[in-house]
Amino acid sequence: MVLPTNLKHVVSEAELNQILKDHENVMVCCGRMGPMCVPVYDIMEELQEEYPHVEFRDMLFDNPEARVIRELPQCRGFMGLPFTIYYKNGKVVEATSSIQTKEQITEILDREFK
């Protein structure tokens, strides 16, 4: 099961681990096709060209394999979707939940993925 977005998808924990191994900077948005998630996917699609050194991916929140993101300590207090995780060299450097603006996202990208 994948989300109907124009982003590349993550469907399994093994695939996520491989992506983290192959790419220094990774942003994964884990959500559904809801009103808080869709704007984040759209922003990510827009930013792909601006940030060629960042791997942008989505993951379906309801996929059992998404527990790899849902159960992260950084997500423990999250109440709203999507869960957006930023990885640098395989480690979580930032995590946000709920809708984010383009400015909020680019601030994190610029700070963490110089």
Per-residue pLDDT of 68-83, as tens digits, reads 999 999 999 999 999 9
Report the pLDDT value the prediction gives residue 60, as an integer from 0 to 100. 98
Report the pLDDT value the prediction gives residue 28, as an integer from 0 to 100. 98
pLDDT at 17 over 90: yes
Report percent pLDDT > 70 for the chain.
100
Contact yes or no for 85/72 (Cβ under 8 A): yes
Which residues fall within 8 angstroms of residue 100, CB to CB, at 6 or more apart? 39, 40, 43, 84
| Domain annotation for the chain: domains and CATH numbers | 8-112 (3.40.30.10)
Whole-prediction pTM: 0.97
* Cα→Cα distances 109→4, 6, 66, Å: 24, 20, 22
* Cα→Cα distances 82→16, 32, 37, 59, 77, Å: 17, 7, 5, 10, 13
